[in-house]
Structure 1
Amino acid sequence: MSSSTVATSTVASRALAARWYQLIAAVVCMMAISSPQYVWTLFTGPLTERLDVPLSRLQITFSLLIVLQTFLAPLQGFLVDRFGVRRLVAVGALATGVSWVLAAQTTTLAGLYLTYGVLGGLGTGIVYIGTVGLMVRWFPDRRGLAVGAVAAGYGFGAMLTTLPISVRLDGTGLEATLTLFGIGIALVGMSAAMCLKMPPAELAGRRPASKVQTARSPQTRPAQMLKHPIFWLMFVMFTMMSTSGLMVISQMSSFAADFGVAGVTVMGMAAVPLALTLDRVCNGVTRPLFGWISDRWGRENTMALAFILEGVAMMVWLATSSNPVLFVLLSGIVFLGWGEIFSLFPATLTDTFGTRHATTNYGFLYMAQGIGSIIGGPAAALLYETSGSWLPVFSVAISFDIATGLVALMLLKPLRQRWLSATSPVRQP
């Protein structure tokens, strides 16, 4: 064995050990910036009263947050690749925290749009795209698990803040709550970002120790990917799944009040904050769980299982909506079937189009989340205000879930098999 081969092997071995520390740092970054999306529903009531606006107009803030987080993702991914993950993720965490501090001071809807929506969306997008893109590079052999784990941080982070924010809102009000937690977001996120770095090139050649089929070449550029129907099919699927979950995230406090469970306690706790906390647990657990399953069982098979699970859970949830205990428990099952989209889609995309441009490529796919936020946020609120019922809103979300699960098996799976066969597939035993 030559000295260069030994040196390469030594570097790769050290990198394999170091990457777990990178994963921890990336998870902390994601936890820090998760609250703007996942606790938004707690702010809708106080903000509606403070600004004296209807829910549909207020929910534009939520859509702006997600749209800016996602529509600029390709640019954010390019900047991370160009200037380095550590610097850009730190800037993103700072912007996210500042967005809450500034939102605490605003007294107009336009000001809320610019602070919580625009600045918050830019900041969270940089952190999200940067950390996901980093993990698919550090873990080419365990891509589903690693992306699921870092995406879990985005779900688990809000689990730690939901109840404290709820208590703080009741005790000190909106302004003090946004200011305190905004400072915390910035400090925690920037500290974790300082630990991030790109992996050595020796890791790039590792292959999944699984039955996941991947393309041999990592050369697919964004311009090439955007010409392929597989990307656009995944884009539509991601949009449909984002819509259903973001509808629940943004509207839960509102439909819980109409269902008659908002003021009810379960196990001594208010039903909505308890449900939100359980949701964050399930939303976090499902990402590495289904990512790990997909590494072994196949991406599309796992998509079908998870997406249809969410659709069925939402049907039962709607049918038993007035029962506070079932409201809490079923909300968790809904998110168990939803949150894994943030591990399955990036892993599937990278399996298909390679790692070299993974951050920018996923940035284009992640734009679908922005479209889902518009349909699930203000459009869903407008549908409710027009119809006077949440039934049409839930019907759309349930239909999207089940249809996407079937599409994964019937369309995406054969398309990807043909594509990978044409690009010299590697199938591990």
Structure 2
Amino acid sequence: MEITNKSQDLKLFGLPWDQGRWLLIPLGMSVLLCLGTVYAWSIFRKPLEADLNIGATESLLPYTIALVFFAVTMPVAGFYIPKIGTRKMTVIGGVIVGLGYILSSFAGNIFAMTLTYGAIAGTGVGITYGVPMAVVARWFPDKKGLAVGLTIIGFGLSPLITAPLGRNLIDGYGVRSTLLILGIGFTAIILASATVLKMPPKDWYFSEKSSAKPTSKTAEIYPANMLRTRSFYALWICYTIGTFVGLSAIGISSPVGQEIIKIDPVLAASSVSLFALFNGTSRPLFGWLSDRFPPKLVAIFSYVLILIGCILMLNAGEGQVASYLIAFCLFWFCLGGWLAIAPTATLRFFNPDNYAENYGIVFTAYGVGALLGTLIAGRIRDWFGSYTYAFYPMAFLAILGIIIATFFLKPDRVISE
């Protein structure tokens, strides 16, 4: 791998670039750790239900709206990262996230809470989410999958850290003060990280002969033309399937354990922590795999795991705790995997200089998967009286994903002008 003279002289945190760049990963993880607290919304629900005198359905509204705004604003923000810059974008997103939490501490009803936490904080999450990934992707052209996978651990494992912290704060200071404390803390952490989250100079890293530079014609496609490629649609559909199954599983993890397996509600709730661990640790693993193998092989591997999980649950019954735990560990594992596969495949298929814009477009698949996954699993339970029937469409989609990945998830060789 041939390095340019410009790269040899480049310093980061006072260290040679190839050493200093590793410090960007924990910084990015800390930002995503703050953002991932959105997944720990359950700790606020019961206290808010009592404080605002609302039911369980209403208390879910801020979380649902937060996910929607996250999924909508992240693709839009991707187009402004190159224009505004990573530091300013991180500052803007961090301030909006913190403002959403702080204003939520003063919300007097569920509609105000939905606006402050759901719309405002969710928008801040969407604006900030792509920045650490874009930064490490540019600094690690030779290990992009591993670097992105390690960085987004922060988002996946956030509930394991922020949920206990939030519960302790709620017990000590109350739910409103907790929202205020978290808002101030998140703003401070994100703004501090913003000062050092910067892109490397353009074309800094390798000479023209470097094997790490994109070589396929598809890699030269800019966002305006990306929608004309077969590889984009294959990646988008595969990503939608992965997030649909994963987010469906997240939404029904505890109810399935209680209704089908008949396990204790406390065990069903605590098992979610185990699932979250698999969700977080799968990201660097799948990122590492995506660096070493074609994306289609990694995608097929994830779908095979999903299919195994579906078969286990379709044959599970009362008392089969092991089948339940293994299946849902696989579902959560693969969801985390797709959050590493998709950005790495985007880097491999398309021009990495336009990664923020490209992945913003690809990320719309997450929004579609989240919306459909959270709605359809509950509907199936209402229609058929059991969550068991939800695993049939999941298995079908896994098989469909294997077919699409096998034949279409690869760089386009010819570009229509």
Please state if 1:52 is matched with 2:48.
no
Distance 1:71 1:113 in 2: 16
Change (3 A) 1:358 1:309: same
- Give me the whole-angstrom Cα distance separating, in 1, the residues matched to 2:228 and 2:90: 30
- After TM superposition, the structure 1 stretch with the greater mean CA deviation from structure 2, 104-113 or 71-80, is 104-113
**Inter-CA distance 391–328: structure 2 relative to 1 (3 Å threshold):** closer
Measure how far apart 1:102 and its partner are.
3.0
2:68/2:122 contact within 8 Å kept: yes
Distance 2:101 2:384 in 1: 33
Taking the aligned partners of 2:208 and 2:284, their CA distance within structure 1 comes to 20
Contact (CA 8 Å) 1:300, 1:409: kept in 2 or not? Answer: yes
User: Does residue 243 of the first structure (1) align with residue 244 of the second (2)?
Assistant: yes
Equivalent residue runs for 1:52-71 within 5 Å: 52-53=54-55, 55=57, 59=60, 61-71=62-72
Pick from 286, 296, 317: which aligns with 1:290? 286
Q: Shift of residue 348 of structure 1?
A: 0.8
Gaps of 5+ in 1: 266-270, 424-429
Aligned pair in 2 of structure 1 residues 8, 331: CA closer, same or farther (>3 Å)? closer
- Indicate conservation of the 8 Å contact 2:234/2:409, yes or no: yes
Contact residue 169 and residue 177 of structure 1 kept, 8 A: yes
CA contact (8 A) 2:286 2:337 kept: yes
Letter in 2 for 1:364: I
Q: Which moved more, 1:348-357 or 1:200-209?
A: 200-209
The one-letter code sitting in structure 2 at the alignment partner of 1:10 is D
Structure 1 equivalent of residue 389 of structure 2: 392
Quick check: 1:279–1:335 contact (8 Å CA) kept in 2?
A: yes
Structure 2: distance between partners of 1:320 and 1:178 = 40
CA distance in 2, matches of 1:171, 1:252: 29
315-324 vs 340-349, which moves further: 315-324
**2:200 alignment partner, SS class:** coil
For residues 77-96 of structure 1, the aligned pairs below 5 Å read 77-96=78-97
The residue number in structure 1 matching 2:355 is 358
1:205–1:113 CA distance, 2 compared to 1 (3 A) = farther
How many residue pairs are counted as aligned between the two chains? 406
Q: 1:321 to 1:77 in 2, by over 3 A?
A: farther
After superposition, what is the alpha-carbon deviation per residue over 1:12-56, rounded to whole angstroms, capped at 9, x for unaligned?
8932222111222112111121110x223444555566553463x
Deviates more, 1:327-336 or 1:150-159: 327-336
What displacement does 1:172 show? 6.1
> What residue in structure 1 maps to residue 9 of structure 2?
10
Asked if residue 100 in structure 1 is aligned to residue 101 in structure 2, the reply is yes
Q: Equivalent residues in 2 for 1:155-174 (5 A)? A: 155-166=156-167, 174=175
User: Which amino acid in 1 is paired with 2:369?
Assistant: G
Classify 1:207/1:34 alpha carbon distance in 2 versus 1 (closer, same or farther; 3 Å): farther
Contact 2:41-2:63 at 8 Å conserved across structures: yes
Q: Which residue of 2 is the match for residue 34 of structure 1?
A: 36
SS in 2 for 1:261: coil
Structure 2 residue 198 is the aligned partner of structure 1 residue 197: yes
Show the counterpart of 1:427: none
| Residue number among 372, 380, 401 corresponding to 1:404 in the alignment | 401
| TM-score of the superposed pair, with normalisation by structure 2 | 0.85
Q: Report the more deviating stretch, 135-144 or 174-183.
A: 174-183
Question: Could you give the per-residue CA deviations for residues 144-203 of structure 1, whole angstroms, max 9, x where no partner exists?
Answer: 111111122211222212334355556765434434433333332322222211112312
Pairwise CA distance, 1:366: 0.5
* 1:187 to 2:177 alignment: no
> Is the Cα–Cα contact under 8 Å of residues 142 and 208 in structure 1 kept in the other structure?
no
CA distance in 2, matches of 1:97, 1:323: 43
Given that 1:261 and 1:324 are in contact with CA atoms closer than 8 Å, whether structure 2 keeps it comes out as yes
8 Å contact from structure 1 (residues 163, 277) kept in 2: no
- 1:340-384, CA deviations, whole angstroms, 9 ceiling, x for partnerless residues? 111111111121111121101100111111111211224433443
Q: Distance in 2 between matches of 1:51 and 1:376?
A: 29
1:313 pairs, out of 309, 312, 315, with 309
Which of 21, 24, 27 is matched with 1:22 structurally? Answer: 24
| Residue of structure 2 equivalent to 1:303 | 299
1 CA distance for matches of 2:120 and 2:19?
36
Over aligned residue pairs, what C-alpha RMSD do you find? 3.2
Counterpart for residue 341 of structure 2: 344
Q: 1:281 to 1:412 in 2, by over 3 A?
A: same
Instruction: Return closer, same or farther for 1:305/1:102 CA change in 2, 3 Å cut-off.
Output: same
- Is residue 141–residue 208 contact of structure 1 (8 Å, CA) maintained in 2? no
The answer on whether the counterparts of 2:4 and 2:206 sit within 8 Å (CA) in structure 1 is no
Distance 1:20-1:122 versus aligned 2 partners, 3 A rule? same
What are the superposed Cα offsets for residues 64-95 of structure 1, whole Å, 9 maximum, x if unpaired? Answer: 32232222223211222111112211332332
Return closer, same or farther for 1:149/1:277 CA change in 2, 3 Å cut-off. same
Q: Percent identity?
A: 24
Q: What is the distance in 2 between the residues matched to 1:261 and 1:177?
A: 32
SS in 2 for 1:195: coil
Structure 2 equivalent of residue 279 of structure 1: 275
| CA distance, structure 2, for counterparts of residue 398 and residue 59 of structure 1 | 28
Structure 2: which 5+ residue stretches go unaligned? none
CA contact (8 A) 2:62 2:118 kept: yes
CA distance in structure 2 between the partners assigned to 1:206 and 1:25 by the alignment = 30
Q: CA deviation at 1:244?
A: 1.6
Aligned to 1:367: 364
- Secondary structure class of the residue paired with 2:335: coil
Give 1:96 shift. 2.2
> Would you say the 8 A contact 1:67–1:367 is kept in 2?
no
Task: Work out whether residues 254 and 265 of structure 2, in 8 Å CA contact, stay in contact via their aligned partners in 1.
Answer: no
CA contact (8 A) 1:62 1:377 kept: no
- Report the AA paired with residue 9 of structure 1: Q
Q: Report the AA paired with residue 290 of structure 1.
A: F
In structure 1, what residue type is equivalent to 2:116? T
Tell me the distance in 1 between the aligned counterparts of 2:120 and 2:321: 36
